[in-house]
Structure 1
């Protein structure tokens, strides 16, 4: 396969010895050609940078989308969602969170799989409400999906959330771990050791985590009955990193609130890249359904 380089956003191709691909397409809101502001979200660890992209003035409302990126990437990942929300009348707040390389570090400088990152998302929710938002839609990508689900169930401001969009999400971390163990053909004992390390204080010696993680609290298939907010769930059966099995299980458990849109071929967090028309159309239709009478959300699996 041969690809033509259209532009270089940063770095020197002549001097570079290595590189990697991502699917972000847009690195900053400048690439979208729309007005935006650089804002700071006050978190318990310090100010975290965010982009605020106002809605199309002709469609502006009191609704905001808060976009949360996945593990080991940055907020640029979420920019692909801005145009469809902007056109639907939503301001978009694209946030960073602890340990992502832009927001402040925690003392242990480790990801907590959403179990602590949600605190920073809660502060973004408060920022939105303090700046004119009345209703919120939370959108999470990959680990950002796990983080959003924690915010949805634990935040003081959860009553303002009218919907959740999950893109290639981690709905159950144990299912994701099982998939990775199988993919790498590791012995079953590895699974039990990893789970034990995450759950125990002694495991912090190896993981570097300051506190154990409550993996059961991050299993939203098991906790499905605790969810009461409309959810749009976009996941590819060919994800390759986070299996779609837990997403499908959540859709089966809660067909009353979950609209599941399955994809094929597309890899992890690359659904828009593979089929932008279908991806944007699913979000557009789902947002329109938020204004319709209760019960119009359907399971599309």
Structure 2
């Protein structure tokens, strides 16, 4: 083989190798992006109940079970549920690394039986609907939306109806039960509440691709629910969101003509910069950040999005509210723990620093993702109550003191 031919063969081999590496990188990036937008229909058991006594329960130690606060535990594939409180003792493996045990106060058995075995942690503390979980009367609605009817709880207030209504939006992969913790505060303040499912929830309508839009599409479902509230007599709205629910609400207030009827936002552990969140998730999954970023670019690219399967381009730059901070026009209460393990608090801190005129920031520690209420319900409810009274010009709380939320 002469030199020219050897060079040609070498060049061809290099091209094939580079092409193969590029294809492999694209496959990893597309897989990461697809995981980000794919709803998790099945949630496996993630906690082991070791012993149950009259007023205490022993659990296998894990990063969730050793954290102070109030939580729930689903048993028997979700058919049973009990609630736990204070950590009474932790022995061995307290960091959740294996072999440890944590003893917690057993507060109540809501359904089924509290028995040893595999179970699933419930960060919402409550389980069920507003009536079964909190003793609050509610109405089950179906609100027409763009892709189908949206199941929705309507919870009337204590006392005379108000012309200020709340719309509460849960996070990615969560359920409407995530909002139960906030309902007693709004109920006592005289604010009717709507708690909807949105597209691609387990109990919501499916879009054509059955994938999340990370707020880029779901805000239209919030718009439908807001329109329903206005048709029923609301004159202004408060919107409350957790995690991706925060990203959805920020898009709603930026893109919907109904945003002029919104008086304030309450955001708990919100996604205000998807790039920061997904860089963090890539590191946790062992995916190089540059490949994770490549996957996120695929979401916005007309051809790349076909590899992921989303219906339309999802441009995460439009959901970076640190960069868009000057566009905020509404008062925001922002609650975020520095120990949030899923959505880092850095972007929330930066947004608060950029707009101290509009953002009331309530930092905390210890709580994992969207569990600020669980760790310190009195502080959470006091912050929300004070913010809404001040922002909306409400009178004194006619009901119980903050922190006295309902329960069975």
TM > 0.5:
yes
Larger radius of gyration: 2
Residue 185 of structure 1 deviates from its aligned partner by 4.3
- From 150, 157, 177, the equivalent of 1:55 is 157
Correspondence for 2:344 among 243, 247, 256: 243
Which residue number corresponds to residue 125 of structure 2?
A: 25
Q: Matched residues in 1 for 2:136 and 2:117: separation?
A: 34
- Equivalenced residue count is 289
Q: Distance in 2 between matches of 1:66 and 1:207?
A: 31
Q: Which residue of 2 aligns with 1:123?
A: 224
- Partner of residue 173 from structure 1, selected from 263, 267, 274: 274
State the match for 1:97 in structure 2. 198
Asked if structure 1 preserves the Cα contact closer than 8 Å seen for 2:268 and 2:336, the reply is: yes
> How much does 1:203 deviate?
2.7
Would the aligned equivalents of 2:333 and 2:387 in 1 still touch at CA under 8 Å? Answer: yes
**Where does 1:268-279 land on structure 2 (aligned, <5 Å)?**
268-279=369-380
Residue 162 of structure 1 corresponds to 263
Which whole-Å CA distance do the structure 2 matches of 1:94 and 1:77 have between them? 10
Deviation of 1:192 (Å): 2.6
2:176 corresponding residue in structure 1: 75
2: CA distance, partners of 1:80 / 1:32: 9
Distance between the aligned counterparts of 1:95 and 1:291, measured in 2? 23
Residue 295 of structure 1: aligned partner: none
What's 2:73 paired with?
none
Q: Which structure has greater strand proportion?
A: 2
CA distance in structure 1 between the partners assigned to 2:107 and 2:265 by the alignment: 36
Gaps of 5+ in 1: 293-301
Which segment drifts farther, 203-212 or 49-58?
A: 203-212
What's the Cα RMSD here? Answer: 1.9
Over 3 Å counting, the alpha-carbon distance change for 1:37 and 1:170 in structure 2 is: same
Query: Residue 86 of structure 2 aligns with which residue?
Result: none
Checking the alignment, whether the CA contact within 8 Å between 2:214 and 2:244 is kept in structure 1 is yes
Please give the alpha-carbon distance, in whole angstroms, between the structure 1 residues aligned to 2:387 and 2:156: 20
Are 2:169 and 2:241, in contact at CA under 8 Å, matched by a contact in 1? yes
2:323 to 207, 218, 222: 222
Q: Quote the offset at 1:17 in angstroms.
A: 7.7
Aligned pairs (5 A) from 1:37-56: 37-56=139-158
Runs (5+) with no aligned partner, structure 2: 1-101, 394-408
**Inter-CA distance 211–17: structure 2 relative to 1 (3 Å threshold):** farther
